[in-house]
């Protein structure tokens, strides 16, 4: 099994919005559970992680629309890319490729999550605060 690079939850992962921060905390927790699950349990854990992530992205999009975040379309485009990625991974998992799922959870998702949090999510949260949210 590869060395896990999954971030542990800490205040450094917060962006200063209670809704986004709560989702980020749950994302990190579900990611760790999925990445460390046994082969028998991996499909259920990945499915739960993917559903949470889709719900999380939808909640962020609701906030962007509610507060009129100017680059909403760019942020949503990135979310749509991730949704398509999750679909592709789920199809490969259904075909039995658990190694690909593990690689995605331990290599792709952690790097994406930190970068996305540091750029798009931080900017979104700052905008929401600037609008009184």
Residue pLDDT tens, the chain, 133 long:
444 578 889 999 999 999 999 999 999 999 999 999 999 999 999 999 999 999 999 999 999 999 999 999 999 999 999 999 999 999 999 999 999 999 999 999 999 999 999 999 999 999 999 999 9
Asked whether the whole model's pTM tops 0.75, one would answer yes
From the list 12, 10, 1, 15, the residue with the least C-alpha distance to 29 is: 10
Residue 22: per-residue pLDDT: 97
Residue 4: per-residue pLDDT: 53
């Amino acid at each position: 099994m590869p060395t896990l690079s999954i971030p542990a939850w800490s205040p450094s992962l917060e962006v200063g919005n209670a809704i986004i921060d709560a989702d980020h905390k749950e994302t990190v927790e579900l990611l760790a559970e999925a990445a460390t699950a046994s082969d028998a349990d991996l499909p259920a854990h990945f499915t739960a992680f993917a559903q949470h992530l889709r719900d999380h992205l939808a909640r962020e999009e609701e906030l962007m629309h509610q507060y009129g975040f100017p680059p909403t379309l760019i942020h949503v485009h990135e979310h749509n890319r991730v949704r398509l990625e999750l679909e592709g991974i789920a199809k490969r998992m259904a075909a039995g490729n658990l190694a690909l799922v593990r690689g995605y959870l331990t290599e792709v998702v952690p790097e994406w999550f930190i970068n996305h949090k540091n750029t798009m999510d931080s900017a979104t949260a700052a905008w929401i605060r600037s609008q009184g949210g």
